[in-house]
Amino acid sequence: MSEAFDPAIFDFYAELPQQGPGRNSETLRVLSCISDRLPPRPTIADLGCGTGRATLALASALPDAAITAVDFSEVFCRRLRNEVARRGLADRVQVVEADMAAPPTARGSLDLLWSEGAAYNIGFENALSLWRPLLRSEGLAVISECTWLSEKRPAEVATFWATAYPAMGTRDENVSRATSAGYEIIDTHTLPAAAWDDYYDPITEAIEAGRVAQLGPAFIAELEQERAIFAASEGSYGYVFYILKPRRAG
């Protein structure tokens, strides 16, 4: 989602099923790569959870997990809290309105740190180093990050991202950033392009149905441009899940 801090924009996104590209089947696919490394009752944080699409997928796949979902948006947290209560999950899913750069998480306490499509807000490298101390020594981190997938980038796509997210790295660059921040790479997984439609389709429907009165025309144009850039991207960028564990000293 866009980083503009207009409350109307957060209200708009709060009505969407998700606030970034992603899909439950992909969340669960990545989880299945590491579930045998988790303890029976894992302690998990979902940082930058939005209205909690991934939080809720993790909660259903791991019925004995205790999950803390963190987002700085009051409206997203309220919506997720309501859904958690509706599903009877309040005893093990806590929703906290906080800055994910300083989450209310004790050092060395997490079996699994999850974050989909959110780390860029505080900088991927910064997130990697701020979050590593939160993990137990056997803990794991799964962080998805928009990533250059090819050197062949249509000019309009390269120009757009040079302004929108100049720090966007290639997979190799991000692997190297994770290694420098003290992680080992377990695996990576690229989100299929169809999972971007799960994010963009409800936005396009809202625009076409005129349910965007609260958003200014400039913001609506930005939303449309971002989708057009993805359509023109020729697969040159996408979300990559980085599946990480802390590297042991020595």
Beta strands in 34-77 (DSSP E): 43-47, 66-71
- Strand 135-148 relative to strand 237-246: parallel, antiparallel, unpaired? antiparallel
Tally of CB atoms within 10 A around 249: 6
CB-nearer residue toward ligand SAM: 176 or 225: 225
Residues 127-186 that bind ligand SAM (CB under 6 A): none
Position of minimal CB gap to ligand SAM? 50
Q: Which residues contact 89 (CB under 8 A, 6 or more apart)?
A: 56, 59
What's the CA gap between 236 and 157, in Å, rounded? Answer: 9
How near is the Cβ of 172 to ligand SAM at its closest, in Å?
A: 24
CB-nearer residue toward ligand SAM: 70 or 157: 70
Dihedrals phi, psi of 53, to nearest 5 degrees: -55, -50
Residue 49 sits in the site that holds ligand SAM (CB under 6 A): yes
What's the CA gap between 153 and 150, in Å, rounded? Answer: 7
Residue 205 sits in the site that holds ligand SAM (CB under 6 A): no
Given 12, 20, 44, 240, the residue binding ligand SAM (CB under 6 A): 20
Residues 50-89 that bind ligand SAM (CB under 6 A): 50, 53-54, 70-73, 76
Residue 200 sits in the site that holds ligand SAM (CB under 6 A): no
Tell me which residue has tokens 């993805």: 230
Residues contributing to the site for ligand SAM (CB under 6 A): 1, 18-20, 22, 48-50, 53-54, 70-73, 76, 99-101, 116-118, 121-122
